Chain A
């Protein structure tokens, strides 16, 4: 009790200081607001308490386990809109040669009128940390040739991801305001106040205002358009969370309020997964198709032309998430991205620079440096690899694998390519053990085995990590991962004996503890060429310790079906472990990539209406997960909670790690500047910030 009181005092003191500082800055804040803030700070403790009782009354909330957690502590490292830029705004701007004619002809306003009053300034350490990129001022011009598989445009869309707040690389720690010019978070993480960068414009020249935000939330709440409110904008990012409320203060300032602490929202604002479209959709554009704003007589011709039945469907089509912008219907949709779709067909996607793009470099050049992006649609991964090696693309990431390194290195000089070896936001394929498999059978052997950590440990120590690494990945992956076991067949055998798998059947394999035939079935879809090789190696290792193993390779869609039906005992899949810590991805979730407890997840998502009531050890995971979302993921408390989560993973063997982290190549035109260095821990083109790439010699 004393501690809580002390904490309250701490929080209150801190917040009063902050409030005074803010008031001093703004000059419009009164003492009463400081009082109410203090009050709300006091509520934090209660709010945290109520989360606890809401989730699992019997188990103490994991939040309590975090040493020294105080929400103000998390915020203390988080300056509230103290400074919005790393670099000063350059005094003059250089007109883009690509637009010079249009500007001269008066068809396009000059650069100073196109960019915001205070544009986002890119220099060393802004988009990428200085450790991984020796940033230099580039030069205008050129076309980037790249590719995409089956027209998904995933790579380019992500490369153009424009987050609302921006921290370098794949971090969400202390982000700088990007699309907004300042942000402010209440110490209890319930209220987010954002001010849009003044003068920032959509790619069609219309200013971005709070009306766009209001419209976005109106669409979210409109069941005709969004059957359910998007979960990332709900409290705690939960399906049953109360939707965030938007309050418009003026043309540029707005507030989003949640009914409980939701620190994870800071990460959502800085993450390329929801991106800027989380809060900003072009209202002026969507309204033309919305019957509440535009006369049906005007909408009808559009419907007829597109052969769409209802205006609702039209709004759904035109209201785009950022990854849809480079699809067929994305042409003409206003966006905030560096390049906008110009032509999309079945063989190529062409994008041209956004005249109103809101970033400049430190010497006053409007980004992007490169005028056009041309992405060829491929339907064969192998042809992408061949063309990359032949230097037919300027940027290829995420399709290249380390296995092709000999090919790229051999052709480097001839094709004028440079291969950079770096980490990835994905981790290598891991083995998921489904802890919900066969849970409905009374006395299920699988349930008995899988809930015993010794079984998981036996499996993990049967794997020769080094062999996997050398055989499949040139020894370039790391050997860590969430299961810490090193290869030790004896230890594995001992553990299996201990849990009662002592008898052997006619084929020499271990029987289950009841003495009946046991078979571990590992299912995988061939998502990537290394999945099958890994599967065969795993079979080899497990049979080496006497576990009969079947490897089942099926098609992706069948794989998905079976997974959703909770029919798979164990699966091989990859996920995004390297970006779990910053809260960008949470595909450790039991039903995301490889299922490890899909029915428990269903129980959680439906508040116990259907699915399986998780056994205590699985419940612990959900508690940790919920607790984690209360604070920003890379705050002190958030990091402590993540460490707990990792511990939980290591102790319960829902994921078994054959190797740790990946090393993958990206293939660049050797003439490109501002390319990331070898050893960079991630791989999305976003981190490179495609807008900062430039050609060193004129094309």
Chain B
């Protein structure tokens, strides 16, 4: 039998909730009248659920990558000698006695079956290791500055493998490597986009505002750059990189290579916008008031379509990430032993991985995930960029 709840109880809650929503909406409505543009965009953006979740997820991803030293249980090059090509370690919540306990792993032994050529794993149930939070490790320096000696999680005995995503061909923890790889893969997008943004908005702005010979020159340069297909130009440029450069230099160079074409699209849009905006009354008024060119461009024209620029940037970052991944995948970008998502995938490009070691493909999920989230965020921003449009 159902227990009856008085009708009035429900209606009371509903009506008070509705009232609350109404007043809240009114408040927001009121605040909208004097809200800044930034606030309006943010407000509209928050309504885009997917974008909001993506933004949070991205933030986490970036945060974890930056502090990979702390979050990753092992270093990117740390090897478990006898555990190459090992599947993810089983984490047990129910211990050997059949009771629910703290998550633990068992020590595993493995042997090569010389007939099937597969490793056979056997867990030694008598030797369990509890996964600890803030486990103490050898001292290291977070980001190379802050001395620390704890990691987010791990086993007290660091000789026992705890491989969340399994290990790669040389016995390195795939999970840790993915986190470290994010440092290069996620930030290469920022670097590339930053360069592209600066170049694009300045050159596009100059081209649009001044017109004439300058415009012609810049536009022709852009056309030449656009006419060359992406991948070949990247390949050509990265093949020209000196081989004795360190990882950092190569990284910066790859960023530049990726942005060499990235700015052209932006420059065209900026030019187009500026051409139309410079004839608007407010621009003419500024000119009539004797404002300098620089002031007009940066104070009046650029802010008028800054929202568009932000959207453009967000959508450009995944392109850069993919570019780096593609180059590294082809063996032209970041090179091992430096780790990026591209190099991790490069190592996974063989039939054996598909057939026997599928966990080595997990980096692909991170690439796809990051790209998707950037696209959602970009999508949300695009919808939000113009807060005065009808539906909002």
**Which residues in A have some Cβ–Cβ distance to B below 8 Å?**
382, 385-386, 389, 402-407, 409-410, 467, 470-472, 474-475, 521, 523, 526, 529, 532-533, 536-537, 539-540, 550-555, 558
Partner of A533, one of B115, B116, B170: B170
Q: Mark B75-111, 1 if CB is under 8 A from A, else 0.
A: 0010101101000000000000000000000000000
**Which residues in B have some Cβ–Cβ distance to A below 8 Å?**
77, 79, 81-82, 84, 112, 115-118, 169-171, 239, 243-244, 331, 335-337, 347, 349-352, 355-356
Most buried by B among A407, A410, A532, A552: A532
- Check A471 against B84 for contact (C-beta < 8 Å): yes
Partner of A407, one of B81, B169, B171, B351: B351
A403 to B171, CA, bound (A): 15
- Chain A residues lying within 8 Å of B171, measured Cβ to Cβ, are 471
Closest CB in chain A relative to B174 CB, distance in Å: 15
A552 to B81, CA, bound (A): 23
- Check A407 against B356 for contact (C-beta < 8 Å): yes
Partner of B243, one of A404, A475, A552: A552
A406-B116, A409-B115, A533-B169 are known contacts. Are A540 and B79 too (CB-CB below 8 A)?
A: yes
A532-B336, A536-B170 are known contacts. Are A407 and B352 too (CB-CB below 8 A)?
A: yes
- Chain B residues lying within 8 Å of A523, measured Cβ to Cβ, are 243
Partner of A474, one of B112, B243, B244: B112
- Check A537 against B355 for contact (C-beta < 8 Å): no
- Check B337 against A536 for contact (C-beta < 8 Å): yes
- Check A471 against B169 for contact (C-beta < 8 Å): yes
Partner of A551, one of B84, B112, B118, B336: B336
- 5 closest pairs, A vs B, by CB? A405-B117, A406-B117, A471-B84, A385-B351, A409-B116
- Check A406 against B118 for contact (C-beta < 8 Å): yes
Q: Which residue of A lies closest to B355 (CB)?
A: A407
A403 to B335, CA, bound (A): 23
Closest CB in chain A relative to B250 CB, distance in Å: 11
A386-B351, A407-B356 are known contacts. Are A554 and B116 too (CB-CB below 8 A)?
A: no
Closest CB in chain A relative to B72 CB, distance in Å: 18
Q: Which residue of A lies closest to B172 (CB)?
A: A536
- Chain A residues lying within 8 Å of B118, measured Cβ to Cβ, are 406
Q: Which residue of A lies closest to B171 (CB)?
A: A471
Closest CB in chain B relative to A405 CB, distance in Å: 4
Q: A409-B115, A471-B171 are in contact. List 7 more A-B contacts (CB 8 A).
A: A382-B350, A405-B117, A407-B351, A407-B356, A472-B169, A521-B244, A533-B170
A409-B117, A471-B170, A551-B337 are known contacts. Are A404 and B112 too (CB-CB below 8 A)?
A: no
- Chain B residues lying within 8 Å of A553, measured Cβ to Cβ, are 331, 335-336
- Chain A residues lying within 8 Å of B169, measured Cβ to Cβ, are 471-472, 533
Q: List 26 A-B contacts (CB under 8 A).
A: A382-B350, A406-B117, A406-B118, A407-B355, A409-B117, A410-B355, A467-B81, A470-B82, A471-B84, A471-B171, A474-B112, A474-B117, A529-B350, A532-B347, A533-B169, A533-B170, A536-B337, A540-B79, A550-B244, A551-B336, A552-B335, A553-B335, A553-B336, A554-B243, A555-B239, A555-B331
A403-B352, A407-B352, A409-B115 are known contacts. Are A536 and B336 too (CB-CB below 8 A)?
A: yes
A386 to B117, CA, bound (A): 17
Q: Which residue of A lies closest to B168 (CB)?
A: A533
A407 to B84, CA, bound (A): 17
Closest CB in chain B relative to A388 CB, distance in Å: 10
Closest CB in chain A relative to B233 CB, distance in Å: 17
- Chain A residues lying within 8 Å of B170, measured Cβ to Cβ, are 471, 533, 536-537
- Chain A residues lying within 8 Å of B82, measured Cβ to Cβ, are 470
A467 to B115, CA, bound (A): 21
Closest CB in chain A relative to B150 CB, distance in Å: 23
- Chain A residues lying within 8 Å of B112, measured Cβ to Cβ, are 474-475
Most buried by A among B112, B118, B170, B349: B170
Q: Which residue of B lies closest to A407 (CB)?
A: B355
Closest CB in chain B relative to A658 CB, distance in Å: 13
Partner of B355, one of A406, A529, A532, A558: A406
- Chain A residues lying within 8 Å of B77, measured Cβ to Cβ, are 540
- Chain B residues lying within 8 Å of A404, measured Cβ to Cβ, are 351-352
Q: Which residue of A lies closest to B337 (CB)?
A: A536
Most buried by A among B82, B239, B243, B347: B243
Closest CB in chain A relative to B344 CB, distance in Å: 13
A475 to B117, CA, bound (A): 11
- Chain B residues lying within 8 Å of A407, measured Cβ to Cβ, are 351-352, 355-356
Closest CB in chain B relative to A382 CB, distance in Å: 5
Closest CB in chain B relative to A572 CB, distance in Å: 13
- Chain A residues lying within 8 Å of B347, measured Cβ to Cβ, are 532
Closest CB in chain B relative to A553 CB, distance in Å: 6
A386 to B354, CA, bound (A): 11
A385 to B352, CA, bound (A): 9
Partner of B352, one of A406, A526, A533, A539: A406
Most buried by B among A406, A526, A529, A539: A406
Closest CB in chain A relative to B139 CB, distance in Å: 15
A474 to B113, CA, bound (A): 10
A537 to B84, CA, bound (A): 12
A304 to B82, CA, bound (A): 65
